[in-house]
Amino acid sequence: MDEVSISLPLSDQISTAIHSFTAWLDRIGYDSYDPYDLWGTRYGLFARRLYYAKNPFGLPLIAPILAAETMLPSVRKLFVRKQRFATADAQLLLAFLNLHQSVNVRCSKFDVQSSMFTPPPLQRAIALADDLLATSIPGYSGHCWGYPFDWQNNHGLWKRNTPFITATPYCFEAFLGLFDTTGDASYFEVAKSIARFVHDDLHDTPTSAVAAAGSYSPIDRSEVINASAYRGMVLFEAAERFVEPKYRATAEKNLNFIIQNQHEDGAWLYALDHPSERFIDHFHTCFVLKNLAKLNRHANSAAVASAIEKGYAYYRRELFAADGMPKSFAIQPRTQLVKLDLYNFAEAITLGTILRHQIPTAFDDAQRLASLLVSKYQLPTGYFVSRVFIGGARHTFPFLRWPQAQLFYALTNLLHALGTTGAPPVPAGALAH
């Protein structure tokens, strides 16, 4: 952005950025490449399988993909095609719902409700909902979504279109938000169907007499902290919306798992069941905190509020650098090449809008990071830098799922919050934050 834009009020800066991003999105459409698509090729799966097995050939075989991703990400055009990603579609949908609801936001250059968009935001959200229904994965208790590529990880090979708890909750929020906005009962029924999947098809692994870890997918029994947080968020909301006490009973066990595995200093490990996953990173910590804040609207638990405050204190202390920029890991890997990951910006901004009434300094950080984002990391074409490497080189090949959709959604969350006075807002079905 130019110096004139930087001098504008933050709401105007964000509105300008949103207008520019939406124009770019209109030009390129919703199909996208992805950071993981090369890893889903036959070569990528083989290389990664050897790497996770600690085969000596594993590291040399993954090196070309790592090099391509760092130095020439556009080379993927030779090997993979663009696809639709449900996580991105749902977050874009939620962003457009935020814009539709921001009727009281008026900026000196734009009216975010009408003059910025053709077609208008609600119409865009409805079209994205139709697209999401077309990509729902059949064969389960209800609607669900995952990734359209094979994913080799520590737990084995998860085939494309395996539904995940990290993707499906955004769709749940999206359809509830559409129901709350339009009153169309068909969206309510889709959300109800999603809740059935989340409750019935995911597994619980007991970790104490009153706690259980919720699985990442229907095919594993992992103990991933943020997976349980996503599941708990959906089930606490669904228990109230659909009057299903069994949903709350399951959600409380997942919540207890999260609370019982918070460290004394406030941190959460990524997962407990595999040695290589016992790390602490930025955006997964955000996932845990934001879902705890959402589910506590229904749990109304002092223990959860305390866990959030303790967790946020750790997050702010250990996952930001001395200059106030987000750090990817609490303990930096020895071979870390990325200085800034803009996915962290997105989640930090969204988290700050969610916690603004409980932790006002989180909202201050959200505004500070948003100002940096739109002034330093939005490209003239309208989308955002993905990463900044050590030495200053920028990754500018756009992936909607990581982090373009998240950044757009974060900015609309913040714009909505900045334009709301008095009582806390109810964006996108009380869940869009």
From CA 374, how far away is CA 261, in angstroms rounded?
37
Domain ranges across the chain:
3-31+82-146+165-418
- Output the pLDDT for position 156: 86
The one-letter code for the residue type at 197 is: F
3-state secondary structure of 422: coil
Token match 């890991």: residue? 329
Mean pLDDT by 10 residues, the chain (433 residues): 59 94 97 94 93 90 91 93 97 97 52 62 97 98 96 87 97 98 98 98 98 97 97 98 98 98 98 89 98 97 98 98 96 78 98 97 98 97 96 94 97 91 39 42
- Output the pLDDT for position 234: 98
3-31+82-146+165-418: CATH topology: Glycosyltransferase (1.50.10)
pTM over 0.95: no
- Output the pLDDT for position 105: 46
Supply the DSSP symbol for 377: S
- Output the pLDDT for position 3: 43
Q: Which two tokens stand for residue 49?
A: 């399988």
- Give 388-391 contacts, CB < 8 A, sequence gap 24+: 388/338, 388/339, 388/340, 389/70, 389/337, 389/338, 389/339, 390/336, 390/337, 390/338, 390/339, 391/339
From CA 406, how far away is CA 90, in angstroms rounded?
10
